[in-house]
Chain A
């Protein structure tokens, strides 16, 4: 599976959009981009995933560049409860299902 690079930490003001970047320059054609988050002392929570097209759900939007070498997770109106570690993960289409978690980005939403 391709590796990802994320900034170790970011701050965001409450009510503003949080834009979390992820580089995955070695991504292959059949690899998906996944985002999970882990709020303190809880299990990881699935947010969104995509292959080529941008995706949106009730939690977030995922913007994948045309060359697929990077992506951005957007939380449109961050709240204090969005404070968490956000993981960007790339998984191959032939993967047996295991997620390989990196260090993620610690997002702190501040009032």
Chain B
């Protein structure tokens, strides 16, 4: 009965590869997010989707492409992986956008690029 789930939990890959991280929420939320937490533990928003439409796209390289097949899923595809992409990626969801709505986070995907 996990609220926000991510797969895989760990991902180890070589530079230049293409990989995807999947996220699913069963809370019936309208909005989903991707965050990146780097080695210094800073947690930053990458993308926000509301009802399958991109709302926020912070300064993220276009090698990162989110895909939302439906309201419950927001996958993150990364092309041509670089060493600097190594981080923990967190998916989150909220009932809707706006400051009065708390976000629920998934367990994270630890990506290591060799």
Contact = CB atoms under 8 A, between A and B. Distances in A.
Interface of A: 30-32, 34, 38, 41-46, 49, 85, 91-101, 103
Contacts of A31: 99
Interface of B: 4, 31, 33, 41-45, 48, 50, 55-56, 58, 90, 92, 94, 97-108
Interface of A (DSSP majority class): loop
A103 B104 CA distance: 19
Contacts, number: 69
A42 B104 contact: no
B23 to A, nearest CB: 11
A38 to B, nearest CB: 8
B33 A98 contact: yes
B94 A97 contact: yes
